[in-house]
């Protein structure tokens, strides 16, 4: 039996509409296993297809391609793509007609999957499994609703549609970002609730979709002081003990972007990366800071891609590619 190819644990970004010589050199590094795309990487369909084709042909094993493409205000590609509603609007429709809301969530998932897969993109970082507690501006209408059952019901439908289009899902932001006011893009939010309260309010959507076979999860740069002094994204207790052992999650663990303020609060980029790897993360996002990415590749020269993580990551490749 052939040994599975090793996939690097870093997901980086590129700056423009086409690859530069520096992009090619950086992405060819063995620690780089994926690329996340942004609005700046999109002009039109032909340009995006050419960019994705080049990214996919750059190395073996190939790069995993991902994008934040949830709907509403978090939709990186718009012109030429279907206009997608905010998830809250689907949750509100649930009050009027559960079948109609479920059908809409499923259709949105399928639309995202169909449109992204046409360009070779493997993964939208969606659905959002956070509960909207009415205090988080960064979550807000990105959440399906303010109660766990609404989020579970509609995220399951969303995932069915995405899966039917051949793409995997990423539940975020584990273990829940919706009860803190601070924006982890700029600072480290602190949630002081007890573990019992977090488990009761925030974890049910993650537990439900894990039981369904959820393929990947993105961790939050939020510190839950009653549980661990480190943010969940850098915490072995949150990843290994609770997510892996207690909830039984077998899929891929992504960190949110380690360049964000919520991660920067704990130390240098190297510190963050090493903590995330030690915590059990499979792939680390480092975005919008090419100098930090280049420095990190050198700083982690003693790190090697992990076989178990590589096997999990390969399972996120588009299904059409494997058939």
Indicate the DSSP class of residue 85: -
Q: Return d(Cα 79, Cα 145) in angstroms, integer.
A: 28
38-44 long-range contacts (CB < 8 A, ≥24 apart) are 38/13, 38/67, 38/68, 38/76, 38/287, 39/76, 39/77, 39/78, 40/15, 40/16, 41/14, 41/16, 41/17, 41/76, 42/17, 42/76, 42/77, 43/17, 44/79, 44/80
The answer to whether residue 185 is catalytic is yes
Question: Angle, nearest 10°, between helix axes 148-164 and 87-94?
Answer: 120
- Choosing from 44, 53, 185, 186, the catalytic residue is 185
Pair 159, 151: CB distance under 8 Å:
no
- Choosing from 256, 271, 282, 298, the catalytic residue is 256
The answer to whether residue 173 is catalytic is no
Asked whether the CA dihedral 142, 148, 152, 153 is positive or negative, the reply is negative
Per DSSP, the three-state class of 222 is coil
Residue with tokens 């601070």: 182
Contacts of residue 300, defined as CB under 8 A and 6 or more positions apart, other chains included, come to 31, 270, 273, 274
- Residues annotated as catalytic (active site), given as ranges: 185, 256
């Amino acid at each position: 039996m052939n040994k599975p190819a090793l996939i690097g644990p870093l997901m980086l970004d590129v700056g423009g509409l086409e690859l530069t010589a520096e992009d090619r050199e950086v992405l060819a590094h063995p620690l780089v296993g994926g690329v996340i795309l942004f609005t700046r990487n999109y002009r039109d369909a032909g340009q995006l297809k050419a960019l994705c084709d080049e990214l996919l042909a750059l190395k073996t094993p190939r790069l995993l391609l991902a994008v934040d493409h949830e709907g509403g205000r978090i939709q990186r590609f718009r012109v030429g793509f279907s206009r997608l509603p905010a998830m809250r609007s689907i949750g509100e429709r649930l009050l009027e007609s559960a079948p109609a809301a479920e059908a809409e969530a499923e259709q949105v998932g399928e639309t995202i999957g169909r449109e992204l897969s046409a360009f070779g993109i493997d993964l939208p970082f969606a659905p959002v499994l956070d509960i909207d507690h009415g205090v988080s501006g960064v979550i807000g209408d990105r959440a399906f609703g303010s109660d766990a059952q609404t989020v579970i019901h509609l995220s399951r439908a969303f995932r069915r549609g995405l899966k039917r289009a051949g793409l995997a899902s990423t539940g975020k932001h584990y273990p829940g970002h919706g009860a803190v006011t601070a924006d982890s893009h700029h600072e480290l939010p602190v949630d002081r609730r007890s573990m019992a309260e977090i488990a009761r309010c925030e974890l049910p959507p993650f537990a439900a979709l894990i039981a369904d076979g959820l393929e990947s999860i993105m961790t939050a740069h939020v510190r839950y002081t009653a549980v661990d002094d480190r943010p969940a994204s850098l915490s072995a207790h949150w990843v290994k003990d609770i997510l892996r052992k207690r909830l039984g999650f077998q899929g891929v663990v992504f960190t949110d972007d380690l360049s964000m303020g919520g991660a920067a609060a704990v130390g240098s980029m190297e510190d963050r990366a090493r903590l995330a790897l030690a915590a059990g993360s499979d792939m680390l996002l480092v975005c919008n800071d090419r100098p930090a990415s280049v420095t990190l590749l050198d700083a982690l020269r003693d790190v090697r891609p992990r076989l178990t993580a590589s096997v999990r990551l390969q399972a996120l490749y588009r299904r059409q590619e494997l058939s």
